[in-house]
Amino acid sequence: MDSITSITPKSAEGLNCSKSDPVSLLSALKESVYNLSDIRPVRDLTQPVIIHIAFTVYGILGVSWQNEFVRWDAEECGTHKISLPRSSLWTPDIVINEFMEANTGPETYYVYLFSDGTVLDMFPMKVISSCNMDIYAFPFDIQNCSYSFNSYLHRADDIQLDLAVPIEAILDLTNRYMEMKGEWTLINMTSHQDNRNNSNEWDYLYIHLILKRHPTLYVVNLIIPSCFLITLDLFSFILPPQSVDRSAFKMTLILGYTVFLLLMNDLLPVTGNTIPLLNVFFSICLALMVASLLETILITNLLHNSKDYPAVPRWVRFLILELLARLVCLTRKTPDEQVTQTEKTVVPPQHPDVSETPTEVLHQEPFRSMERELRAIRQQMEKNIATDQNTEDWTHIGQVVDRFLFCVYLIFITTSFITILVIWTNWYKH
């Protein structure tokens, strides 16, 4: 790191360099320091070593501490710092508890040793860490991830942890590293210490990261295509069910949407404490498409099999053809002529009058036969008219129900989308 906080030892013996060059300094270090690498670098073992920690996300973990066994005159030895093998000096066993795997970053074998005894150890770390994520508002979620630093072996009376630089400087440096990288934006970073001075417990340093996800990728690849498909399903109600196979169109939409969800499944989070609201959004879209298909099957059955249905019941006529038809603005025009029932005329059998001659009776027989045929034709026409009227009633019922279910579909989808949008907006703002 650029700035390292160090503590000047209260007492330290200076090294004597025979010459003002790094070679003599290294010789002096080998004689007086290398053989002390197995113990903590303090002259009084009751005093703790102060470990200063600084790190950046996408960066390098920096650790510095004071070695009280080392101090030299920079002018006498010709340099104020020297790089040494890490194995030559005592190093603290600092661990980050949230790491799930071993460090896979490149290894570094050297540390910096300064003339005042400060040891600076900087090493890159590439690991997978755990973070308790709340993915309810995915992809508009904000996460709070915490990292805890502590010594694995040494207690607070041996090692105490502190930040090497202010947390604001770490935040600024991290933002420069993370700019335009990945899908997260670092909003804020805070820290607090759990110091156990001179106790038999571990000393902890906590770093809290507040991250906001970039939602553009998920909006473009998940939300917008779903909205397009559900809008297409909504406009399919315009297709006339009498002449177009609307059900085949809707089944194609459902199949396409299912394939879309399978392909985009890798973009959805698989771990978290809650179910993402986006999954609820997808479930609502799929449920609406299935409900739309079922409605189409019902309406198609009403329109194409109406000839086989009995007369419309009175309560159905009142509920649908009068009340519901007015509600959806699909009332039927009243015919100008009133349909009245025709009284049946019973023609008594005509018996030939005794005064009629056989010739007259023979002349009237064709007219009587014609009368019977006309009566049969009239009865058949009345039956056909009644059947056509019944078919027209059921067809109109299907149209009214189709319009009503379209309105319900539109209201439900609008309400659902607005509710989800409000939840996402409020979550993203806060």
Q: Strand 204-213 relative to strand 142-151: parallel, antiparallel, unpaired?
A: antiparallel
**Confidence band (pLDDT; 50, 70, 90) for 254?**
very high
Output the CATH code of domain 22-214.
2.70.170.10
Q: What is the arithmetic mean of pLDDT over 243-262?
A: 90
Tell whether the model's pLDDT for residue 337 goes beyond 50: no
Tell whether the model's pLDDT for residue 383 goes beyond 80: no
**Confidence band (pLDDT; 50, 70, 90) for 356?**
low
Tell whether the model's pLDDT for residue 421 goes beyond 80: yes
Given this model, what pLDDT does residue 224 score? Answer: 93
In sequence order, what are the residues at sequence separation of 6 or more whose Cβ sits closer than 8 angstroms to the Cβ of residue 35?
A: none
Q: Residue 37 and residue 16: Cα distance in Å, rounded?
A: 19
21-31 confidence digits (pLDDT tens): 777 777 777 77
The alpha carbon torsion through 213, 218, 224, 225 (nearest 10 deg) reads -170
Contact 149, 129 (CB under 8 A): no
Q: Residue 148 and residue 46: Cα distance in Å, rounded?
A: 25
**Confidence band (pLDDT; 50, 70, 90) for 228?**
very high
pTM of the full structure: 0.67
Tell whether the model's pLDDT for residue 259 goes beyond 80: yes
46-76 confidence digits (pLDDT tens): 788 888 877 677 667 788 888 888 888 888 8
Residue 206 vs residue 270, higher pLDDT: 206
Annotated domain spans of the chain: 22-214, 218-332+378-429
Given this model, what pLDDT does residue 101 score? Answer: 80
Q: Determine if residue 105 is left, alpha or beta; phi over 0 gives left, psi from -120 to 50 gives alpha, anything else beta.
A: beta
Tell whether the model's pLDDT for residue 352 goes beyond 60: no
Tell whether the model's pLDDT for residue 244 goes beyond 50: yes
Given this model, what pLDDT does residue 6 score? Answer: 35
Which amino acid makes up residue 103? N
Tell whether the model's pLDDT for residue 377 goes beyond 80: no
